[in-house]
Amino acid sequence: MLEASSRTVYMLDSTTSIAGAAPSQAAGKAMQWQGAYTAEATTDGRYTYARKDPSGKGSWTLFYNARTGTWSLGLRRTPITGAPARTKTIFSVYDGAQLPHEIKGTWRQSQRGGGWTPASLKCVVGPEGAALLREKQEATARALASSAEEVLLVGLTASAARHEWLGRYKRYGPALVNGRHVLVHEDDSKKVMWYDAKSASWCIALHEDENLQRMRFFPNRAALRAVDPALAPERIVGAWTMRDEAQRDSYEVLPSVRCIAALESEGAAVVRAQEDAVHKAEPIVYLTGATPPSFAREWMGSYVLQPALLGTHLSHPWYRHERDSSRELRYHAHSGEWRVGRMETSTGLLSTAMSVYDGALRPEHTSASWKVHGDTGWQDAPDVRCRAQAEGKTALIADERVDRAAASLQRALTPGWIFAVRAPAVLAELRLALQSGMQPVRAYHILSRARTLGVAEAIIEAARQQLAVTVSQSSRSAQRPWADQASDKRKAKLSEANETSSNPVYIAIADRAVVISNASETITVRTATEKVQLPRRRRRQRRRQHVAGRKSTVSDE
């Protein structure tokens, strides 16, 4: 028979003592397996000890395995009806002690990927164990009471992926999950930060219900995770990791991401910087740049800053179109995108026409590529940018000039009631449109639409030919034949040689010949099979040298 004092044993972390580690250290190592275990039935000649798991889904069991000669500590889940109960071993120690508090061996902990690592466990009985447990519970209570109500998840992720999960999290009610508080994202209540006891890690993921009492957490869906048993997220010392989209079970380490208290010195400075960025938002921003031809250009233009709604917190500024207040530019916290769209009064949702996946605090600071929604669905729009001040105004004026030229070209291609479409007018408007800076792809799109209006095929083909010639000339003028063929030193020598004569000069370089007629004309490139011609003065010098050489040869003979 066991003595009364041995019927209850205390499994604790051996790094804590009565004189104790600091409260933060003791609290930071709190685990669900720690606590008082009561003796039950005997197995293999030794008692089995158990304690109820705080989650209510099973019990922690301390037992001896005679086959392996080990004491084991694991979680026994409540079995489904008809299924046998199984215990998943978390800790074990090779020791044949009759009682667990007599164990002298070193405990070890199983790893998720396989293998074992040393663990700091000890089993204590009597008043000492009760005192240690009480100190642990008091330290835990103090740590929870002093934990931050608001935290900031700050840092950088690889290629800014999953940046929408960073930001400010606030404590959600007094209830605890696995002995820790649950925190909710300030701008998106679907994103929660909680502690998962099974994996001993803090997870950030979406939950299933708005009601805390019915929240369902799925750690295997966590976007971010930190393996650390800390009682509060601001005490986490383990590295935060980000789940890989391609490989669901693969996590990438984020060395710069940290969780800090929002109201302490460092966190308060970050909060002030963010608030200042919002308060100093530009009064007007401009969406400018070329877009795919099928996209409606009326979404581009000036957007005016709007005040925050009464009683709401504004973490990002929001804007409305200067000419149409139903069009809005605002940050969508759930997806981490700046979106441009129209707010539907019936649903209260934003029908998106443009978006950019970027976590910048202000739209003019975005650097990622925009996407637009046209007739063919979502398309990349790499030339679109959000600008401010004089730069934005200048870009907007240039865009409006191009839009007016495009509208004039469309009118020239639209048959009237009396006058038909005339080729000279179309070609003239096409030249003006291209000179204004309109991209050729937009002109091709306008010509394609004109075919559906019944415009003569000959007119469209003539415009296409002129467009092709213009594009070809632009591409040739943009080329730099000297870039790959000659250095600056060679160009200087050729210019000097060209000044001596107005006649054409042919200089062979590698397998090509660069042709210069005079300093004011365009440099062209011809094949090296043509005769290499030198300036007149240099030809005379060569001829005299050649004649002098022949005379000297004859005299020698």
More confident residue, 535 or 303: 303
3-state SS, residue 423 = helix
- E strand or H helix at 429, and its extent? helix 423-435
* Beta-strand runs (E) in 186-250: 191-196, 201-206, 224-227, 240-243
- E strand or H helix at 90, and its extent? strand 87-94
Integer Cα distance of 411 and 341 in angstroms:
28
- Give me the mean pLDDT over the 261-275 stretch: 91
Sign for the CA dihedral angle at 140, 141, 146, 150 comes to positive
- Give me the mean pLDDT over the 462-488 stretch: 67
**What whole-number percentage of the chain has pLDDT above 90?**
54
Is 50 exceeded by the pLDDT of residue 485?
Answer: no
Digit-coded pLDDT (tens) for 193-223: 999 987 889 999 998 765 555 567 888 889 9
Contact 93, 107 (CB under 8 A): yes
CA distances (Å), origin 515, targets 245, 528, 531: 56, 10, 11
Digit-coded pLDDT (tens) for 240-259: 999 987 666 788 999 999 99
Digit-coded pLDDT (tens) for 404-414: 999 999 999 99
The alpha carbon torsion through 90, 95, 101, 105 (nearest 10 deg) reads -80
Q: Find the range with the poorest average confidence among 176-190, 243-257, 451-465, 482-496.
A: 482-496
Q: Find the range with the poorest average confidence among 93-97, 117-121, 514-518.
A: 514-518
R_g (Cα) of the chain, nearest Å:
39
Q: What is the residue extent of each domain of the chain?
A: 4-144, 147-272, 284-391, 413-478, 481-540
- Give me the mean pLDDT over the 496-510 stretch: 42
Integer Cα distance of 513 and 95 in angstroms:
89
Q: Find the range with the poorest average confidence among 229-233, 425-429, 499-503.
A: 499-503
pLDDT at residue 4 in the model? 56
Confidence at 535, pLDDT banded by 50, 70, 90 = low
Contact 77, 57 (CB under 8 A): yes
φ and ψ of 392, to 5 deg: -65, -40
pLDDT at residue 50 in the model? 93
Digit-coded pLDDT (tens) for 361-407: 999 999 999 999 988 899 999 999 999 999 999 999 999 999 999 99
Integer Cα distance of 374 and 386 in angstroms:
19
- Give me the mean pLDDT over the 544-557 stretch: 57
pLDDT at residue 407 in the model? 95
Contact 152, 167 (CB under 8 A): yes
Is 50 exceeded by the pLDDT of residue 509?
Answer: no
pLDDT at residue 495 in the model? 54
- E strand or H helix at 132, and its extent? helix 126-146
pLDDT at residue 534 in the model? 46
Q: Which two tokens stand for residue 95?
A: 């020791």
- Kindly state the DSSP code that residue 223 receives in the 8-state scheme: S
**What whole-number percentage of the chain has pLDDT above 70?**
77
Confidence at 272, pLDDT banded by 50, 70, 90 = very high
Digit-coded pLDDT (tens) for 44-86: 789 999 998 876 778 999 999 999 999 999 988 877 666 677 8
3-state SS, residue 226 = strand
More confident residue, 532 or 299: 299
